[in-house]
């Protein structure tokens, strides 16, 4: 959140300056913006009419440079260096930082070999120093350097300006994700419904077993009581008493 807040403040500062800059002043503003150590978003500056007026003029290559910093990479600059203004060291560093952000958009594990090729870095020590000092310390990325596997594991990367057409692709991706989520939610609801049905069936079955068990217990108890009464009578207890009372007495 801190880096996003700082970005917003710097962007507004340059946008305000761009609204009052024309021609050579606009070109200087672009050079300053692309050199600023803490500015990594340029689309709002690109949308200022005074900046867009550079198109078709002798300073149009500065407008192209601003577009490159908004959407391009170090390799893009090398491919078009003859048509673009020469870069100062601060601009080179900035463009390489932005290149790392672009790579982090497509993969969360970045091999050292890929990074060295994309950044024009000749050895691992130089690469790791750049990732630590220029990327992680600046807050634009967070991650782990894995020397054994020779890769950089990205945990967080600041977002870059959306490229033309990228918003449509993002909307399409989000739409597909939403459809998949809806289908998954429907499946989960059906599973819950099935589980509830099975739970009700199991509950009824358990109740039936419980009722039958109680019925069997009652039957067994009744049978035991009848057996005890029968055994007592057979032993001569009650029956002998009844027989004595009904026997006629002898006359003297």
Confidence check: pLDDT of 107 > 90: yes
- For residue 224, tell me if it sits in a domain: yes
Confidence check: pLDDT of 178 > 70: yes
Q: Which residue has the higher pLDDT, 162 or 103?
A: 103
Residues 98 and 40 in one domain: yes
Confidence check: pLDDT of 241 > 50: no
- With residues binned 3-state (H G I as helix, E B as strand, rest as coil), the percentages for the chain, rounded to 5, are 70, 5, 25
Q: Which residue has the higher pLDDT, 138 or 3?
A: 138
Note down the domain range covering 225: 166-244
Residues 20 and 119 in one domain: yes
Residues contacting residue 183 through CB under 8 Å, at least 6 positions apart: none
Which pLDDT band holds residue 174 (cuts at 50, 70, 90)? low
Residues 71 and 102 in one domain: yes
Residues 129 and 10 in one domain: yes
**Distance of alpha carbon 39 from alpha carbon 160, whole angstroms:** 11
Answer with the one of 115, 130, 157 that is the final residue of a domain. 157
Residues 97 and 153 in one domain: yes
Answer with the one of 157, 182, 209 that is the final residue of a domain. 157
Which pTM value belongs to this model? 0.67
Residues 188 and 127 in one domain: no
Judge whether 155 and 142 are in contact, CB under 8 Å.
yes
- For residue 185, tell me if it sits in a domain: yes
Answer with the one of 157, 178, 201 that is the final residue of a domain. 157
**Distance of alpha carbon 238 from alpha carbon 231, whole angstroms:** 11
- Please count the structural domains in the chain: 2
Confidence check: pLDDT of 221 > 90: no
């Amino acid at each position: 959140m801190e880096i996003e807040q700082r970005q917003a403040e710097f962007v507004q500062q340059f946008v305000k300056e761009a609204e009052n800059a024309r021609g050579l002043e606009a070109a200087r503003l672009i050079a300053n913006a692309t050199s600023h150590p803490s500015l990594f978003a340029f689309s709002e500056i690109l949308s200022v009419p005074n900046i867009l007026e550079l198109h078709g003029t002798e300073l149009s290559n500065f407008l192209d440079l601003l577009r490159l910093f908004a959407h391009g990479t170090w390799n893009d600059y090398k491919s078009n260096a003859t048509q673009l203004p020469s870069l100062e060291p601060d601009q080179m560093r900035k463009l390489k930082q932005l290149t790392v952000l672009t790579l982090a958009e497509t993969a969360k594990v970045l091999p050292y070999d890929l990074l060295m090729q994309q950044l024009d870095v000749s050895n691992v020590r130089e690469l790791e120093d750049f990732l630590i000092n220029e990327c992680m310390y600046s807050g634009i990325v967070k991650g782990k350097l894995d020397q054994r596997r020779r890769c950089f594991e990205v945990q967080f990367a600041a977002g870059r300006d959306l490229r033309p057409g990228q918003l449509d692709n993002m909307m399409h991706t989000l739409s597909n994700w939403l459809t998949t989520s809806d289908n998954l939610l429907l499946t989960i609801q059906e599973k819950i419904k099935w589980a509830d049905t099975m739970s009700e069936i199991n509950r009824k079955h358990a109740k039936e077993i419980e009722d039958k068990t109680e019925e069997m217990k009652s039957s067994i108890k009744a049978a035991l009581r009848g057996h005890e009464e029968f055994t007592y009578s057979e032993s001569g207890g009650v029956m002998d008493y009844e027989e004595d009372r009904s026997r006629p007495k002898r006359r003297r």
